[in-house]
Amino acid sequence: MPLSKLQVTNPFSTASQPFSSSALQSFWLLGLLQAGDSFYPTGSYAHSFGLEALVQEGVVRDRATLWEFVFRSTLPALRHTELPLAAHAWRAFEAPDWKQLGEICRLSSALKTAKEARFAAENIGRQRAELMANLRSHPLAQEFLQRATTESWPHSPSVSAALEGRVLGAPLTAVLSGITYATIASLLSAAMKVLRLGQNASQSLLTETLGEAPAIITAAEAVPFDEIGWFNPWLDIAAARHESANSRMFIS
């Protein structure tokens, strides 16, 4: 049967109305856009990825030093940690391989040395998984939440993003692209609040950074599980100091 004649289930409809397979991509794309939008509860959360603390320390002061932070910290963290975690989780959800998913959740938490960042990731990951279970009424998301509770798995934004992709029927590359865009856009949105940085400067930096995304995503897809991880003591120390700062605009 030609692909255009196949009928698949609409993931946005509780009535399970059929629609042509040619429309399938638009549905998972809409779902990923919804999950990454500021209107979504976790789409644009109050997190600066340690940036606010580095601004307070005077390390990040302007566009030039922000560029260094993005290219020397944010992109390597995506390349070596967040994207490989999501890629392994996306594959594990297919079977699903619950033992592997538990290991990914625990590793994701262990890689965040600053307490504030770890707690923030836990809250964001849990809420994203709960939204998938509640908004979509999807058995995969419901069973994941049940197992995570029963077996005390730490929640992970990367694992929850992979879960979103599986529930929506999105391919792996699209899931990783969504994570990449949301991470960088949220960071630059935070930068506009703590630095003298206008929208045009932010968009030019966003465009430059996204130009690196294809190579980073391709490399991240191939990272073995036992090689996941990246350590930046400079950022971790700043994030730890941020926990007790006198004033804060962001979680971390």
Report the distance separating Cα 51 and Cα 60, nearest Å: 8
CATH fold label, 48-242: Urease accessory protein UreF (1.10.4190)
Residue 214 neighbours by CB distance under 10 Å: 12
Q: How far is CA 118 from CA 11, 49, 63, 104, 198, in A?
A: 31, 11, 28, 14, 30
Residue the block writes with tokens 């910290």: 73
| Cβ within 8 Å of residue 206, ≥6 positions away | 184, 185, 188
Q: Where are the domains of the chain?
A: 48-242
Report the distance separating Cα 3 and Cα 195, nearest Å: 50
Query: Tens-of-pLDDT digits for all 252 residues of the chain?
Result: 333 333 344 555 544 556 666 666 678 999 999 888 877 887 555 556 678 788 888 889 999 999 999 999 999 999 999 999 999 999 999 999 999 999 999 999 999 887 877 888 898 999 999 999 999 889 999 999 999 999 999 999 999 999 999 999 999 999 999 999 999 998 898 898 889 888 999 999 999 999 999 999 999 999 999 999 998 887 777 777 656 554 444 554
165: tokens are 């992709």
Task: Check if the beta carbon of residue 144 is closer than 8 Å to that of residue 164.
Answer: no
The predicted model scores a pTM of 0.86
